[in-house]
Structures are given as structure tokens and as C-alpha cells.
Amino acid sequence: MAQYHAEITVKASPQTAFAYLADLGNLPEWDSSVRDATLLDGTGPGIGARYDVTVGFYGKALDATYEVTGHDSPTSVSYTIDGKATGSTEIEVQQRGDDTVIVYDSTIQMRGIARWLDRGLQVAYDGIGENVERGIAKQLRSAR
């Protein structure tokens, strides 16, 4: 299993940051590994919303379903990942003094025999996580 943890300080208000990150339709804007995210079920951000997500991984397009499993506005959102890999992500939005801090925790694990590749997966997931950090910071840098 690969894991990634980050704390990202942004300039957006907690409410703006939460609204943006809780809408998984915005994933392609802040996660450069995501090529497309389309709402399948639900009316938008909230528990039970499901998205068809296409991820680019080593030049291949992989489809997965992301389902929102937790939605506590304006502090946290979590979702599961189900496709060739399974996993989960939790995003917390915290106010620390005058700063808004995004706490991002994500895990992923390959299915079946591909689980033997988990050691290499951690290296790849570290790179994806670093891109996520940069993407979130970029997208939420000027909103207030």
C-alpha cells in the first residue's frame, strides 16, 4: 500500500478551500494525474456523490470510480477510489491563526497480482502527491 500525507498552507478562506476541494469535479485542476472527473451519481458535492475519474499512470489511462464517503462542511471531505487500484483520501481544512491549512491524507493499493508492485507504487505515489500539493497551492493561492 502506498501512502501520502501533506499539509498545505493556502491563502483561500477555509470555506472557499473546502467548497473547491469537496467538489471532485475540480480534481483535474489540482491533481495533474487526473485527466477527467465526471459526476455519475448525486447532485454535486456530498456523501454518495460518485465520479468517473480517468487517471494517467505511466502513459496509460486508467478509469476509476471515486465515491464521497464523508462530507462535513466546511472541515472535511473523504472519498474512496475503486478501479485497478483501491484506496481512500481524506482532506481536512483547518484554520490555524490567520492561515488556512489543508491536511491531505491518501492511500492506494493495487488489486490482484499487481499488489506485488506496491514497493514501486510508493515511489510513483510520492511524485503524484507532490504534484497534488503544488496543484492545491496553485489553485487556492489567490482566493480569499
Task: State how beta strands 85-96 and 99-110 pair.
Answer: antiparallel
Q: Look at residue 104 and give its three-state secondary structure.
A: strand
Write out pLDDT tens, residues 8-46. Answer: 999 999 999 999 999 999 999 999 999 999 999 988 789
Asked if 60 and 85 touch (Cβ cutoff 8 Å), the reply is no
The domain limits of the chain are 2-139
pLDDT digits (tens, 9 = 90+) for 78-102: 999 999 889 999 999 999 998 999 9
What local confidence, expressed as pLDDT, does residue 112 receive?
73
* 70 has pLDDT over 80: yes
3-state secondary structure of 34: strand
Spatial distance between the Cα atoms of 141 and 144, rounded to a whole number of angstroms = 8
Is the CB of residue 40 less than 8 Å from the CB of residue 52? yes
Residue type at position 38: T
pTM: 0.91
> At the topology level of CATH, where does 2-139 sit?
Alpha-D-Glucose-1,6-Bisphosphate; Chain A, domain 4 (3.30.530)
Q: What size, in residues, is the chain? A: 144
Helix H or strand E encompassing 119: helix 118-139
Q: What is the pLDDT of residue 114?
A: 63
- Over the stretch 100-130, which tens digit does the pLDDT of each residue have? 999 999 999 988 766 666 677 888 889 999 9
Average predicted confidence (pLDDT) for the chain: 91
- Decide: 121 and 110 in contact? Cβ < 8 Å: yes
Torsion sign across C-alpha atoms 135, 81, 63, 49: negative
Amino acid (one-letter) located at 45: P
Dist. CA 113–CA 20, nearest whole Å: 36
